[in-house]
Amino acid sequence: MESVIHSELGNNKLNYDLIHQLGENFGSSYYLLNVNKLRENYQKIEKAFKSRYANFIIGYSYKTNYLPYLCKELSKIGAYAEVVSRLEYDLAIKIGENPKRIIFNGPLKSKEDIYYALNNESLINIDSMYEVDFVKEYALNNQNKEIKIGLRVNFDISLGGVSTLQEGYEISRFGICVENGNFNAILKELLSVKNIKIIGLHGHFSTRNRSLQTYEFITQTLCNLAKESLLETLEYIDIGGGIYGELPDLFNIAAPTFDQYAETICKVMNREFRHFSKKPNLILEPGISMVANTFIFIAKVIEVKKVRNKNFVLVDGSVHNVKPTMHKNNLPMRVVRKSKKIIENEDFHIVGYTCMEKDYLAHNVCDFLPERDDYIIFENVGAYTIVFNPPFIKERPGIVAMDNDIFCSVRKKETLRQFFNEEIYCF
């Protein structure tokens, strides 16, 4: 964080002069992280759930946005690290996370990964049957050590015979299947080793509508399975992530609030464990709801041109910077203008620097036509956008963190040296 700028304007007051000053220091396009908004999201989720169920843990989903600065900020205020690869696990260690506060999920874990996580006493959820052999072998080689693990379970979450999974998939590919007997078989196999203790169940499902009904069903099913199979050893119920966060009005989605999710989920937990002297922890793994609205992308207008009767606004940015899946829905955005003159509204497209015809950051915008050296702010780009952003044609832009009136670089703009890393490329 070498470059630091102080502003007297305060948070959320990005005028042209400040944006231009930031551009002079950090590049003509850059991401801006609102650190206060990040903290606010964490506090809102925590308050909603902890006020209803005290034994509550937030495990931030690293894959959603593993900017090291962001992960470290969330760790400071209490978030566990929820990781799904050794890369993410090592990042958590590198930024100083206590390995006992790392939740290691994901379908691909090598023998070395599992040994490392068990040595560190991280919370590890087994996703597939091949991992059982690694855990058993580790336990037999460390017979004086109690080995604590969790299981990711797979069960039918369709409602009324209709799949609620993303893309309409009928069956989730993750976790250990309950219906076909694999869950009971793995329980029996693991518990045949005296020093293995199964302490929790994990049930993350990626659904289309993220509904309260779905989360109620997931929580209830996990509780039922835990009480049937893990009554003496249960330490946590992990319902995964995927809940909606606060959405822009433009999205036109009537999303449940944090309080509504918490009321639905905690009601089940409190009912099912009301007679327990020590209730199990409830773990939530938010990603999108934590970070989506904490980032904006700011891109300078390079040129405005007309092709036949269509206006095209070229910016120093790409669809990859704001919508890497290239969907055609416009994000919330606004133009920050150098000139204050009032002109008539016109229709225009906002396009990027790549050589792809489909590089549209926004379609059919109706507003004052931007001019060269204006800036366009794209909102709600904090989830998956940065981690999906490919190194394609042009170096990736920098990332600036805004903490009250202080702006600092938390990822530098790439150069040729980083784009073509000399440690891995041969020249």
Q: Which residues are catalytic?
A: 355
Give, in order, the Cα–Cα distances in Å from 216 to each of 194, 262, 263, 275, 407.
34, 10, 10, 20, 41
Is residue 183 within 8 Å of 177, Cβ to Cβ?
yes
What are the structure tokens assigned to 349, written together?
């497209």
What are the structure tokens assigned to 255, written together?
């999303």
**Sequence letter at residue 21:** Q
Residue 271 CB neighbours (<10 A): 10
Which residues fall within 8 angstroms of residue 83, CB to CB, at 6 or more apart? 62, 63, 89, 91, 92, 102, 103, 104, 105, 106
Residue 264 CB neighbours (<10 A): 18
What are the structure tokens assigned to 180, written together?
């076909």
What are the structure tokens assigned to 119, written together?
């040595």
**Rg for the chain (alpha carbons), in Å?**
24
